[in-house]
Amino acid sequence: MTRRLCCLSLSAIFSLFLAVPFASAAEIPLTQGAKITWEKKLKVPLKLDIDKKMLRPLIGDDLPAAVKEVSGLTQKIEIAPGQGVTLTSSFGPFKGEMTLEEVLNKICEDKSWGWYVNNAPKGDQKDGAIFLTTNPKEKGYKEGTGPKEVAKKDDPKDKPKDEPKTGDGDKAAAELLTKAKFQMNTKQNDKAMVTLKEIIEKYPDTKAATDAKKLLEKIGK
């Protein structure tokens, strides 16, 4: 009888143990302030008419004002403590409809910076504030604290999957240039323009790209 009760107790404890969820470092839940920033401020299209400006008035006045106009909520955008982000750097212009997330990404891409939404304890005045950093790996979340799918996400525009090495790039660009010249010689100018633009876009630092620009001008005449 005693042995049976012991087994039942161990079984109950094991079931309770499995019922308790485990959150990994990469899946820390958002605090209330951070959740509001993500859901009601970062993703909402803003109506922007901002000329090129230094970072200080841009994050201190213009962007918070645009957020408040659309959402009715205030938003703090600051430099993360101990970071070498320069407030005198200029950015913009930002015109038309853009989300705050898009603006922040554009600012950070220009300087290889990063940004994250502050996940602070309840009652902290900076819960949900946005911090700019010098870590380009931080895109919305502090490195190591965001959802796995966000932490591992790479922008395909910034990092092509099969980025060629320098030597391979020269060779590939030269082959495409030969193809474009053949297309021009056979009166296929439309196809040649597509090939030449591909060279310029994929291999901008090659000699073939320089020649491709000249040939595009020739076709356009």
Helix residue ranges per DSSP H, 37-188: 55-57, 63-71, 100-111, 148-151, 166-185
Beta strands in 35-102 (DSSP E): 45-50, 53-54, 77-79, 90-91, 94-99
119 and 211 co-located in one domain: no
Which of 121-125, 169-173, 210-214 is least confident? Answer: 121-125
Give the pLDDT of residue 161: 52
86 and 185 co-located in one domain: no
205 and 141 co-located in one domain: no
48 and 88 co-located in one domain: yes
Task: Please give the residue range of the domain that contains residue 190.
Answer: 166-220
49 domain-assigned: yes
Give the pLDDT of residue 216: 87
Element of type H or E holding 17: helix 2-19
90 and 176 co-located in one domain: no
CA 205 – CA 201 distance, rounded (Å): 10
Query: Whole-model pTM above 0.85?
Result: no
Q: How many domains does the chain have?
A: 2
Give the pLDDT of residue 110: 84
